[in-house]
Amino acid sequence: MAKAKLKIEVREEGKNPRQLRASGNLPGSLYGKNIDAKNIQVNSHEFEMAYRDAKDAEWELSLGKEKFNAKIQELQVNYATNEYLNVEFAVI
């Protein structure tokens, strides 16, 4: 199984998802057993490149010094524009 690596950040306070997308980030969330749910943001271009190469990959997410192995639980797409709107990662 392919493994994709991606750097994530905690979502900026006070910005709504539309503002995040306008600044080049993809809003999302990270959740799973034994961790607190986190609202995150990912660089849109980096996510698109990694997702294009490995749609069903296991993701290695780096949040500061923490690392999480996750799968994409849900990816919301605007099919009229092919723009990614939101991504949800579930820790495995």
**66 pLDDT exceeds 70?**
yes
**14 pLDDT exceeds 90?**
no
Task: Say which CATH class 3-79 falls into.
Answer: mainly beta
Residues contacting residue 11 through CB under 8 Å, at least 6 positions apart: 20, 27, 39, 40, 41
8 Å CB contact between 3 and 68: no
12 or 87, which is more confident? Answer: 87
**What is the model's pTM?**
0.90
Q: Report the candidate in 65, 69, 61, 71 with the shortest Cα–Cα distance to residue 40.
A: 61
pLDDT averaged over the chain? Answer: 93
Which residue intervals of the chain are DSSP H helices?
A: 17-22, 44-53
* pLDDT value at residue 11: 92
Distance CA(30)–CA(41), nearest Å, equals 10
Sorted by where each begins, the domain ranges of the chain are 3-79
Structure tokens at 1: 């199984």
* pLDDT value at residue 12: 82
